[in-house]
Amino acid sequence: MTSSSAGRRRQAARNDETILAAAREVFLADPKAPIAAVAERAGVGISALYRRYPGKEDLLRTLCHDGLRQFIAEAEDAARHPDDWTAFTTFLRAVVDADVHSLTVHLAGTFTPSEQMHADAVAASGRATALFDRVRPHLRPGVTAADITMVLEMCAAVRLPDPGRTRQLRRRYLAVLLDGFQAHGEPLGSPPAEGELNWRWQQR
Amino acid sequence: MTSSSAGRRRQAARNDETILAAAREVFLADPKAPIAAVAERAGVGISALYRRYPGKEDLLRTLCHDGLRQFIAEAEDAARHPDDWTAFTTFLRAVVDADVHSLTVHLAGTFTPSEQMHADAVAASGRATALFDRVRPHLRPGVTAADITMVLEMCAAVRLPDPGRTRQLRRRYLAVLLDGFQAHGEPLGSPPAEGELNWRWQQR
DNA sequence: GTGAAACGGAACGAAACATTCCGCTCGGTT
DNA sequence: AACCGAGCGGAATGTTTCGTTCCGTTTCAC
């Protein structure tokens, strides 16, 4: 096996990425999209998909799990920053930019989650909470770590045809939200409870 | 035609409302829901639906148009309030509470819009902008009327199984956003342009 | 008592879709 | 140079989902 740059193995390895990227784009736009749409977007045939994943559900699961892992990675990266506020906002911006939240949440329920995913979900929650605790003193009373989830949810709702512009606008509203969480306005109502946010992970 | 209270006509008139309410619930939860789901939720047969609407698209259109009209009505109601800030926030709360935004935006593209709808959409935009202009001086630099649309979009993204709780949380984040728009933090990036928000009304 | 408005729900046909299958192409190996 | 099979494209298949139609029944209104 020599490694020519246009070799079959090379091309196949490249397709691995192409297909995952296409799947991300397509399923983020519409979680119910047909698998053929992914193949078309990737510029490959349907066989190329089924060679890699036993079925649609496995592809979705992989996508979601990757998102979860990226979430954790971003949290750990950002946590290294010595400044608390910078660490927190860097993390949020990274997650928002990469649309990781959509990946993990909008796709949940379209497949039966693996145990590893559950474990990673717990880990992710822990990392995020740790970051939150560091900035907690800078925030108005009544704000909790559960609010992070909703902030990400709201930013993910900002969606334009152009990805670049979408990212800009998400940062805009993330900034507004963060300023709002620092402001000292009227007391806020009760925050989301722990169990209230996990309903997404139920089967549909 | 006497008007007995359990008469067929009575029952039918009541079904008009029941069906619309059911359709709202079902299609807000899933814009792609089958029409049979609406009938089931309403507790009626499929015939009751097709007696009132020639087809699915007409039901969707009616639903969306009703939402648009309610949007306008809420704006006009709120505009009567003498205090600028109260008028503005009352309007936003009303729209968020009634989930009117989802009705108008998430359903767009599932049907071919009528001319009247387009006219009403323009009217709605005008009413909202008028309210915005009254509070413009209270907001940080760089905020525009187009931000209203995105605020509503983000609030609509807050969604829990329990409708009552959903409303509470939406108000929570609406308050945070409003405080954020009043705060004097870093300058915000460029706001959404006019044309950037109308892509939803294109056919899918 | 009769006609039809209103309706429930089965039946029908079309469309969408996940998955399978067959045949072709070439890179890699001998 | 001949060959093997990994990798793949895309048509074919079987199934499910869904919009719409149809028919029999009920229940008012007159």
CATH code for the domain of A161: 1.10.357
Residue B8 has pLDDT above 80, yes or no: no
Residue type, A109: G
B175/A186 Cβ within 8 A: yes
Q: How many domains does chain B have?
A: 2
Within a domain: A125: yes
* A180 CB-near residues (< 8 Å, 6+ apart): B175, B176, B177, B178, B179, B180, B181, B183
Judgement on whether residues B47 and B88 belong to the same structural domain of the protein: no
Nearest by CB to A165, which of B155, B168, B196?
A: B196
Name every chain B residue with its beta carbon within 8 A of the beta carbon of A182.
183, 185
Question: Do B122 and B153 share a structural domain?
Answer: yes
**Domain assignment present for A80:** yes
- Each residue's pLDDT tens digit, A128-152: 999 999 999 999 999 999 999 999 9
- What's the pLDDT score for residue A65? 96
- Per the rule left: phi > 0, alpha: psi between -120 and 50, beta: everything else, A99 is left
Give the model's pLDDT for residue B5.
Answer: 53
Instruction: Give the mean pLDDT of A52-64.
Output: 97
The pLDDT assigned to B3 comes to: 43
- Shared domain for A32 and A73, answered yes or no, is no
User: Each residue of B122-180: pLDDT tens digit?
Assistant: 999 999 999 999 999 999 999 999 999 999 999 999 999 999 999 999 999 999 999 99
Q: How far apart are CA A95 and CA A86, in angstroms?
A: 14
Contacts of B3 (CB under 8 A, 6+ apart): B9, B10
Do residue B98 and residue B80 come from a single domain? yes
Cβ contact B189–A180 (<8 Å): no
Q: What pLDDT was estimated at residue A151? A: 98
Same domain, A171 and A83: yes
Contact B176 A181 (CB under 8 A): yes
Asked if residue A57 is part of any domain, the answer here is no
> Å from A47 (CA) to C24 (C1')?
13
CA A38 → C1' C15, Å? 20
User: Span B49-77, mean pLDDT?
Assistant: 97
> What is the predicted pLDDT for the residue at B1?
43
Percent over 90 (pLDDT), chain A: 88
Write down the pLDDT at residue A3. 46
Please indicate, yes or no, whether residues B38 and B107 belong to a single structural domain of this protein.
no
DSSP B202: S
Nearest Cβ partner of A154 from B157, B192, B199?
Answer: B157
- What residues of B are in contact with residue A154 (Cβ under 8 Å)? 154-155, 157-158, 173
Condensed to tens digits (0 to 9), the pLDDT of residues A78-120 reads 999 999 999 999 999 999 999 999 999 999 889 999 999 999 9
For residue B153, list chain A residues with Cβ-Cβ distance below 8 A: 157-158
Give yes or no: residues A19 and A115 share one domain.
no
CB-CB neighbors (< 8 A) of B176 in chain A:
177, 180-181, 183, 188
Cβ neighbour number for residue A86 with a 10 Å cutoff: 12
Q: Is residue A111 part of a domain?
A: yes
Q: Is residue A58 part of a domain?
A: no
Residue nearest to nucleotide C22 (CA to C1'): A47
Q: Which of B12, B35, B52 is the last residue of a domain?
A: B52
Is residue B98 domain-shared with residue B39, that is, in the same domain? Answer: no
- Cβ distance A196 to B32 less than 8 Å, yes or no, reads no
End-to-end CA distance of chain B: 45
Residues A156, A186 within the same domain: yes
Q: Which domain holds residue B98?
A: 61-201
Distances (CA, A) of A18 to A43, A76, A100, A188: 9, 27, 18, 45
Confidence label for B73 from pLDDT (cuts 50, 70 and 90): very high
Query: Do B154 and A150 count as a contact with CB atoms less than 8 A apart?
Result: no
Residues A116 and A189 in one domain: yes
Selection from A115, A116, A97, A117 nearest residue A107 by Cα: A117
- pLDDT over threshold 50, residue B2: no
Co-location of B106 and B176 in the same domain: yes
Q: How far is the CA of A56 from the C1' of C27 (A)?
A: 29
**What is the predicted pLDDT for the residue at B90?**
98
**Per the domain annotation, does A46 fall within a domain?**
yes
Q: Least CA distance to B197: which residue of chain A? A: A160
Same domain, A42 and A94: no
Q: Is A3 helix (H, G, I), strand (E, B) or coil?
A: coil
Burial class (CB in 10 A: 0-12, 13-18, 19+), B40: middle
Residue A192 in contact with partner chain B when CB distance is under 8 A: yes
Q: Of B169, B171, B188, which is closest to A192 when you measure between CB atoms?
A: B169
